[in-house]
Structure 1
Amino acid sequence: MEHTKQLVLNKNIPLKITHADTKGHNLFSLKLNGREIGRLQKSGKIYWYTIIDSYIEKLNINHLKEITIEDVYPNISEEEIINRQKSFKNIIGIYQSKEAVEEKMKDKNSDGALKVRKTRSDSPVYYACLSASDCITLLQGLLNVYGNVNDRIELIYSQNEQKIDDLFIENPEEAPEVRDITLNTIIYGPPGTGKTHSIKSIFYDELIAKDIFKNDISYLTWLQVIFISFKEHNFVSLNWNEIYESKIIKEFKDMMNSQDYKATIRRTVYNNASKEDTPGYFKKEATKWGITEEGIKLANQINIDVKDDNKDNFEMVTFHQSFGYEEFIEGIKAKTVDGQIEYSIEDGIFVKFCKRAKLSQEKGENKNYLFVIDEINRANISKVFGELITLIEDDKRIKYIDNKWSGSMVTLPYSETKFGVPDNVYIVGTMNTADKSIALIDSALRRRFDFIELMPNAKVLSNILDNGGIIDGVNIPKVMSLLNERIMVLYDRDHTLGHALFINVSSLEDLQKVIQNKVIPLLQDYFYGDLVKVKAVLNDKFDIFVKRKQFKIQLFDSNLIENLYDIEAQYDLVTDVSYDNFIKYIHHIDNEISNEE
């Protein structure tokens, strides 16, 4: 870790740090009196906002006091207090309820991006801070109010110097924590980067399916847990990543505190796989693993229920160009009854879903409701949402308190009924940036949603493919990353190639088909048929896929030739590439990667 910086906080010593000092920096250590108290993520980083949680938890703070400018800066003058008011508008804490923080946010006119946080303790403490410097300022205030006279807080952080390769080799396990899942989220990125899959692995599993396994699983072996993971997926074939992300696998590895669970799973599957003359419990199917009949039999003998009975609190819809307000909120629908056309006002899919969520709250159920909008940017979002674009905001959601609903409601235009969006409804959209850049999204929508970017991820591909994705000496993840670097230079990062394009590659023949049938057509679409750029992205110096077009000179009058623009710079796509020529091409790419390293 290069260029690290150290910041030391002492009780009642004036804080000297600005927003610019920490902007774009990653936090790696939080120590109180020499002992680490920060919550490290698997990436080795600490979320800045969690330093408040960590300190409150360490000191077991339960008598709460609003942290003011005077608490942060002892002996401050009245003039300085006035000067610091604006910079303090996004620093709010500490309170006993979320509502108290929200009320303070309104009073201070805090930024719309500010979110209420809560500690993990049994009696949670609520706070809010926007930037890294805001978090440090609040921490200094807590130290001054609650700390001992000799307490010393030390933070180690460094500039986030992200390289191009980092865009493609991220840690796939750096997913949002459960406590960080917000009510409105849009997951965006190029096609094939796992946007829809992340809904299952993050939002659905954490919000909806987290209580599926209520049985005691401590007595199980790893082999039995893998059996159940296949049972969880109705015994279909799975790739390694799908096995790792099975709900039962996640719960079991957490319970066992297993750090190398992936290696354990692979070893268990290999050791119990069918061989040529020996039947086993698992069988290899291209890049996936299936379970044999004997394996299914043993899986069904394990008394663990994997059924999810929460289907009423999950809904998924795909937006398209003609999707409208009537389908989403409400509208007048025509029906033929006894040969006569009758019109009636009917609820749209989202209103029906919200009514189920309301009924759940009224019954006293503590259930989350997840509404997923796939391809959210393909419809006219402002038109589809209508007046609900305001109601989905966190502070506009309706809450069921003391047997009555409170919060913002509107009167729907057709039914003339009052409607609000319950606070147990989570809305998650997916957005393909190859269709529409995030920069073009309506600003009203941007203000009301959190945006999570998913980019092509070489590590995910390495985890899914056997042998880390190296096939006959060709490193498939590195091939994908190199192609994407060129696309970024010639176009932009929104049109890079997702790792999902390559996840079923188990041989170089498969790779040839992917490049010819998936990669090249995408590149043609991205570059509007400009084959020179397609050739450049592929770095096709041997004319394997794109070659200069040959034409008969006698087709044209010699006096006209010089008036024809770039006639010699036209190219053709080769549709009958031989396997030998492909091997020549792909090994050239692999050598290029090796030389770069």
Structure 2
Amino acid sequence: MDKNRMNLFKEFQNRWNRQNVENMTLEEYSRAGEKDTFTYWVEEHKKEASFGKMGGGGSQKFGVYSERKDPDSYKYEKKYENEQKAFEEIKECIIKIIDLAKNRELDKIDGIPIHSSYKWKIAFLYQDINNPCVIPIYKKEVLAKICKEEYGVKSDNMTIGQMQEKIMSKKSDENIFDFAVRLWKKYGEESKKNNVCVEDKKYIQNAERDAKNIILYGPPGTGKTYCVINKALEILGVEIPENREKAKKIFDEYMRNGQIEFITFHQSYGYEEFVEGIKPQIVGSNISYQIKSGIFKKISYRALFDNINIDSKINKSIAQFERFYNDFFENVQMGNIKSLESKKSKISMYINSKNNNLYGIYGDGSKSHVKISEEILQKLFFYYKDRDKFYGMKHFHKEMSEVLGKSFGSSVYWTILDYYFSNYHQKNEEIEQNEVLNTDEIRALVLNFLSSANRDFKEEFEIKPYILIIDEINRGNISKIFGELITLIEPSKRIGAKEELRVTLPYSSEEFGVPKNLFIIGTMNTTDRSIAFMDMALRRRFEFEEMMPNPDLLEGKEIQGVKLQKILKAINERIECLYDREHTIGHAFLMDIDSIEGLKKVFQTKIIPLLQEYFYDDYAKINAVLNNNGMIKKTEETKIFQKIDELDLDINTEKPIYSILKASDDEWKKAEIYKSIETKKNDK
């Protein structure tokens, strides 16, 4: 057997023997940026390909993990109470896998509740390598294909453990590593794009099934917000817990991570808040104006960034340049860098407070000011990426002028590049695949990605979905808010689609497009505005899902003989007759009611105020909807105009006056007042 691979195998087992795993702390298990952790050794140790790859899932597959932007703060799967509890349960699972792998009890590994590929790689690493029972191929789809096509075994109802045992029983004298590599090349490579475990497929399946732009519409209280949370979690591929609090907690976590954004439209909301606009910035006595990105542009950039293969050389270089430039700019702004030495003179550096631009001043007596362009500097950065090439220039004025297309300013740019090679290049800092980049670095990568003819996309299954939720979408002026971007949200016009469209934004002059992995979910109350009166541009680009009151959800709910299902049905039938179906009452108002006091409160604070709004205080109709149950009191005649005959006024003195039953009245506490909504008072 290959000696080098055997040594790597033993090296792992020595470093992470069973006792070390038992004594392992959370920080030793997983910590962003640290290589001597259990998870790093399992996934990346010496990058030995023949040990098998775990595929997608990111750090989430480890159950508890931290990120580079805050290594001390841990995230964990929502089924656990806290990070320490998550770690202890995962460690217990790992110890079980170690024992089961050593005892060759593969059938029991299938039931251990951690990420599939992760647990099978652990099993591979802890088996007896001289008498192996686990092949380093961990994806169920590939194992099933090997069983069927290589050995003629039907695997439809087989677990991964059973398939592992079947495949290993067919192994001859060939060593485990060569055996795995041969089968992977034959069955794994050709199905690489589809080689995603079931856990990692959840989001893709939902993303393909669900529309990109959806509006949930209906009367108040029909559960639109409730449904939005569930729909968002479905798109994200999350199993929705039955417990509502847990579902909301998961939803909130994705919001904190920036994968979900929530916004409410209103009459004053505009393009400047939604896409981008110019905002004043006051520093001391100085005022300047800066372009600020809105919520739609921000989440679009984040979603676009998730499409980019950051591991490619060009993308690493772009991020490296942006990191250097921002650091250099900040050092000049803070006064840490005041001047640099060029080959012939000193170049002073400063930031113009009025336009926030970077300038260089020649110190040769000419006092010439040169505005330093980030775009030109980046062009030179890529052209002279090699240190030897930069310092090997014989006539830098001539050569750099040819690159720049002009001669003026070459000394200034040479000085900045010299500073880069002297202070940054030697560090040889690499942007790693999982490293968290800052906003400017993401922006630079996204803009390059949009303008590039040959884009380097990630694998489809590695791209995460992003969700923008727009509450009360019909209350905003859609043309004013979306502007020219309304066309770009169409699925066929998104980045990567055949009919992809991009626009140049009016304030920043940046290229912009909407990514395929951005989902837009809107909600609207039909009491505010009917769909028939909505902006046609919006109607064409969204799919609409009607959410009407569902009295059946109240079936069996009864309070002192008051059947909630029947009274909601009766109220809504009358509203439809007197007004329309879009102004009915939603079932959500009664879902959590479990007492007469609860009924009293919901009628006083929710249902009657809604009826007042619907019928413009026409209490005769409100009373009719409530079936004259006594909540609305009527006075048949009035004596307030005793001398009406002496007045020259056209007043109907016989018009009845209505009043709502006082909130303190004991009638609210009687079941009969609610029962009579459903039936006539003289019914038995």
With structure 1 as the length reference, what TM-score do the two structures score? 0.51
Deviation of the 1:539 alpha carbon: 1.0
Quote the offset at 1:472 in angstroms: 1.4
Change (3 A) 1:313 1:554: closer
CA distance in 1, matches of 2:585, 2:477: 26
Change (3 A) 1:359 1:534: same
| 1:307 to 1:583, Cα distance in 2 relative to 1, 3 A | closer
Whole-Å Cα distance in 2 between the matches of residues 452 and 346 of structure 1? 34
The alpha carbon displacement at 1:557 in A equals: 3.3
Distance in 2 separating the partners of 1:309 and 1:435: 27
Identical positions, percent: 43
- Indicate how the Cα distance of structure 1 residues 346 and 549 shifts in structure 2: closer, same or farther if over 3 A, else same: farther
Report how far residue 457 of structure 1 moved. Answer: 1.2
Structure 1, unaligned runs of 5 or more: 1-121, 124-175, 213-224, 235-245, 248-305, 463-467
8 A Cα contact 2:570 2:678, kept in partner: no
Q: CA RMSD in A?
A: 3.3
Whether contact under 8 Å (1:209, 1:308) holds in the other structure is no
**Is 1:572 the counterpart of 2:659 in the alignment?**
yes
Q: Map of 1:57-206 to 2, 5 A cutoff?
A: 179-202=208-231, 204-206=232-234
- Render the CA deviation track for 1:372-409: whole Å, top value 9, x for unaligned: 101111110111000011111111111189xxxx8200
Paired residue type of 2:611: L
Q: CA deviation at 1:231?
A: 5.5
Cα pair distance change 1:356/1:178, threshold 3 Å:
closer
After superposition, the Cα gap between the structure-2 partners of 1:431 and 1:354, relative to the gap in structure 1 and judged at 3 Å, is same
Distance in structure 1 (CA, Å) of the matches to 2:207 and 2:653: 57
Task: Decide whether the 8 Å contact of 1:527 with 1:533 is kept in 2.
Answer: yes
The letter for the 1-side match of 2:226 is H
Cα distance in 1 between the residues matched to 2:229 and 2:482 = 24
SS in 2 for 1:362: coil
> Does residue 290 of structure 2 align to residue 340 of structure 1?
no
Q: Give the deviation of 1:586 after TM superposition.
A: 1.9
* 1:197, distance to aligned residue in structure 2 (A): 1.0
Q: Distance in 2 between matches of 1:413 and 1:185?
A: 27
1:192, CA displacement in angstroms?
A: 1.1
Q: Could you tell me whether the CA contact under 8 Å between 2:259 and 2:467 is conserved in 1?
A: yes
Query: Equivalents in 2 of 1:592, 1:388: separation in Å?
Result: 55
Tell me the residue number matched to 1:505: 593
Aligned counterpart for 2:505 among listed residues 395, 412, 419: 412
Cα contact 1:334–1:343 (8 A) shared by 2:
yes
Residue 210, structure 1, aligned to residue 210, structure 2: no
1:308 and 1:399 map into 2 onto residues whose CA distance is 25
| Mapped pair 1:398 → 2:495 | yes
Partner of 2:633 in structure 1? 546
Q: Give the match's secondary structure for 1:586.
A: helix
CA 1:498–1:569 in 2, change beyond 3 Å: closer, same or farther?
same
1:458-497 matched pairs, under 5 angstroms: 458-462=551-555, 468-497=556-585
Is it true that 1:378 corresponds to 2:465 in the alignment? Answer: no
1:532 equivalent in structure 2: 620
Q: Distance in 2 between matches of 1:549 and 1:366?
A: 69
Q: Provide the rounded CA distance (Å) in 2 between the counterparts of 1:398 and 1:566.
A: 69
- Alpha-carbon deviation of 1:429? 0.5
| Secondary structure of residue in 1 paired with 2:288 | strand
- Residues 231 and 522 of structure 1: is their aligned pair in 2 closer, same or farther, counting only changes over 3 Å? closer
CA distance 1:373–1:339, change in 2 (3 Å): same
Which residue of structure 2 aligns with residue 516 of structure 1? Answer: 604
**How many residues matched?**
331
* Separation in structure 1 between the aligned mates of residue 598 and residue 569 of structure 2, nearest angstrom: 18
For the structure 1 residues 519 and 193, does the alpha-carbon distance in structure 2 shift closer, same or farther, using more than 3 Å as the test?
Answer: same
- 2:532 maps to what in 1? 439
1:347 Cα offset (Å) = 1.3
Q: For 2:520, which of 427, 430, 443 is the aligned residue? A: 427
Q: Deviations along 1:134-171, whole A, 9 cap, x unmatched?
A: xxxxxxxxxxxxxxxxxxxxxxxxxxxxxxxxxxxxxx
Q: Match of 2:448?
A: none
- Cα distance in 1, alignment partners of residues 255 and 606 from structure 2: 38
Measured in 1, the distance between the counterparts of 2:577 and 2:548 equals: 16
Report the residue type matching 1:564 in the other structure: I
Q: Indicate the SS of the match to 2:214.
A: strand
Q: What residue in structure 2 maps to residue 369 of structure 1?
A: 466
| Contact kept in structure 1, 2:491 and 2:516, CA below 8 Å | yes
* Aligned partners of 2:467 and 2:519 also within 8 Å: yes
Q: For residues 538 and 563 of structure 2, what CA distance do their matches in structure 1 show?
A: 40
Per-residue deviation, 1:196 = 1.1
Q: 2:235 touches 2:465 (CA, 8 Å); kept in 1? A: yes
CA distance in 2, matches of 1:561, 1:586: 44
Q: Letter of the aligned partner of 1:354 in structure 2?
A: S
| 1:510-549 superposed Cα distances (whole Å, 9 cap, x missing partner) | 1122112211111111111111111111111x54423126
Q: Is the 8 A contact 1:455 1:498 kept in 2?
A: yes
Matches within 5 A, 1:350-369: 350-363=296-309, 364=458, 365-369=462-466
Higher strand share: 1
Structure 1 counterpart of 2:218, which letter?
A: G
Q: In 2, distance between residues paired with 1:417 and 1:586?
A: 61
Other-structure match for 2:644: 557
1:387 aligns with 2:484: yes
Match of 1:318 among 264, 270, 275: 264
Deviations 1:266-299 (A, max 9, x none): xxxxxxxxxxxxxxxxxxxxxxxxxxxxxxxxxx
The 2-side partners of 1:190 and 1:561 are apart by: 45
For structure 1, which segment, 392-401 or 420-429, has the greater mean C-alpha deviation from structure 2 after superposition? 392-401
Aligned residue for 2:481, secondary structure, equals helix
Pair 469,579 (structure 1): closer, same or farther in 2 beyond 3 Å: farther
SS at match of 1:480: helix
| Deviations 1:76-127, CA, capped at 9 Å, x for gaps | xxxxxxxxxxxxxxxxxxxxxxxxxxxxxxxxxxxxxxxxxxxxxx79xxxx
- Partner secondary structure for residue 192 of structure 1: coil
Per the TM alignment, residue 577 of structure 1 is displaced from its structure 2 partner at its CA by: 6.3
When the two structures are superposed, what TM-score results if normalisation uses the length of structure 2? 0.45
Distance 1:350 1:229 in 2: 28
The answer (yes or no) to whether the contact 2:619–2:632 under 8 Å persists in 1 is: no
| Residue 339 of structure 1: how far off its partner (Å) | 2.3
